[in-house]
Amino acid sequence: MKRIGVLCSGGDAPGMNANVRAVVRAALERGITPYGIDRGYAGFLAGALRPLTSRDVSGIVNLGGTFLRTARCREFHEPAGRTQAAAVLRQHQIDGLVVCGGDGSFTGAQLLHREHGVAVVGTPGTIDNDLAGTDHTIGFDTAVQTAVEACDRIRDTAHSHDRVFVVEVMGRHAGFIALEVAVAAGAEVALLPEHPAHDTAWCCQQIALMQQRGKTSMLVVVAEGVGRGEQVAAAIDAQVPGTSARATVLGHVLRGGSPSSDDRVLASLTGADAVAALCEGATCHHCGVIAGRLVRTPLEEVVGVKKPLNPATVALLGTLAT
Ligand code: ADP
């Protein structure tokens, strides 16, 4: 292994910079030249790649976003796009590729391996935490912390005005962020894609129940995959007499900001291990951390595999919201 490529793909996540930094420095330590590829898979089509030095990744461990930029690349869904990517890698004599991204990015990486024999290793770069093969993904901890800080502020105004506040957080297909935020912020209700029976009508019943128990202000956390916070707030207003509900959408604010120490450490561990994995002959793997230990999993056991929410945390929410 003489040269490896590294790219960030899909939605950005705080900690991606720390991940690329670790890939670059772990590669240099082994005498491998790391190549940074700009804007995810789109970088191949634009021929936008360059060798990175240790100084290129100086001073970025604490920065959100990704200095390599990230992108969604439609062409990579087509075999021709992947053929071009493989040709660019061959042209630059790059033997292996580290992809920091989520399930979609790993699907593309897996195809690049199957069709062109490129050695690929994925690192878990998504705020959603919806990847099997790791307890947490890079950016999840920071996103939860950002949302909890916002919820704490919202609770202040909810309390002052005796209001119900509905906070919509990111999570189209997974409720990891919503669940963690709900527990940490002391929310009364969480609406999660994994629990469709807990819908808006159920939420209104819960709000009415807690109102009867003497609660005057309440917090509802909604994962965006369940529905719009505005609609949930309107339903509460309409269906629960005596309430005044408002909605706040946290949206992309959760993607930004300086990564937490947990995210920086996870990103650094998995980035360095991705290089080690390539050197040790990994061909199509994912590097994650499970129960505090680095774990390499074949990508086919990660891509498309649904990671369940922790049932104990879901149950705890019900216990605490009384
Ligand atoms: P994430 O990696 O965060 O899940 P996306 O699903 O948007 O983000 O995927 C990022 C990129 O990965 C896409 O823009 C595309 O270039 C590539 N990709 C996603 N799904 C596929 C697929 N089924 N086949 C090939 N490439 C894919």
Testing ligand 1's pocket by substitution, the residue of 44, 72, 103 carrying the most ligand atoms inside 8 A of its CB is 72
The pLDDT of 40-56, averaged and rounded, is 97
Is residue 14 within 8 Å of residue 46, measured between CB atoms?
Answer: no
Non-local CB neighbours of 52 within 8 Å, separated by 6+ positions = 6, 24, 34, 35, 36
DSSP letters, 57-102, are GTT-TT-SS-TT-----GGGGSHHHHHHHHHHHHHTT--EEEEEE-
Q: Residue 322: is its pLDDT beyond 90? A: no
The pLDDT of residue 113 is 98
Cα angle 263, 268, 272; round to 5: 150
Q: What is the mean pLDDT of residues 62-84?
A: 97
Would you state the pLDDT for residue 62? 98
Cα–ligand 1 centroid distance for 110 (angstroms): 11
State the distance from the centre of ligand 1 to the C-alpha of 316, rounded, in angstroms. Answer: 34
Most informative mutation of 68, 105, 129 for ligand 1 (most atoms within 8 A of CB) = 105
Average pLDDT over residues 76-88: 97
Residues 6+ away with beta carbon under 8 Å from 285: 120, 121, 122, 277, 296, 297, 298, 299
* All residues at 6 or more sequence positions from 231 whose CB lies less than 8 Å from its CB, including other chains: 200
pLDDT at 22: 98
Can you tell me the mean pLDDT for 297-313? 97
User: Taking residues 284-291, what's their average pLDDT?
Assistant: 98
User: How far apart (Å, rounded) are the C-alpha atoms in residues 226 and 129?
Assistant: 17
Contact at 8 Å (CB) between 253 and 146? yes
pLDDT of residue 5: 98
The tens digit of pLDDT for each residue in 242-283 reads 999 999 999 999 999 999 999 999 999 999 999 999 999 999
**Interval 100-116 mean pLDDT:** 98
Mean pLDDT of all residues in 98-112 = 98
pLDDT at 143 over 90: yes
Catalytic residue list contains 162: no
Domains of the chain: 3-139+259-301 (3.40.50.450), 141-255 (3.40.50.460)
Task: Report pTM.
Answer: 0.97
Judged by DSSP in three states, 134 sits in: coil
Q: Which of 12, 38, 103, 128 is catalytic?
A: 128
Q: Is 48 exposed, middle or buried (0-12, 13-18, 19+ CB in 10 A)?
A: middle
Mean pLDDT of the chain: 97
- Å from CA of 304 to ligand 1 middle: 12
Ligand 1 in reach of 116 Cβ (< 6 A): no
| pLDDT tens column, 177-190 | 999 999 999 999 99
Confidence category of residue 131, pLDDT binned at 50, 70, 90? very high
For the stretch 186-224, pLDDT in tens is: 999 999 999 999 999 999 999 999 999 999 999 999 999
Q: Which residues of 175-201 are buried (b: 16+ CB within 10 A; e: fewer)?
A: bbbbbbbbbbbebbbbbbbbbeebebe
Dihedral (CA of 100, 140, 11, 286) sign: positive
Contact in structure between 223 and 200 (CB atoms under 8 Å): no
Strand partners, 122: 99, 286
Whether 128 is in the pocket of ligand 1, judged by its Cβ within 6 Å, is no
How large is the average pLDDT for residues 160-174? 96
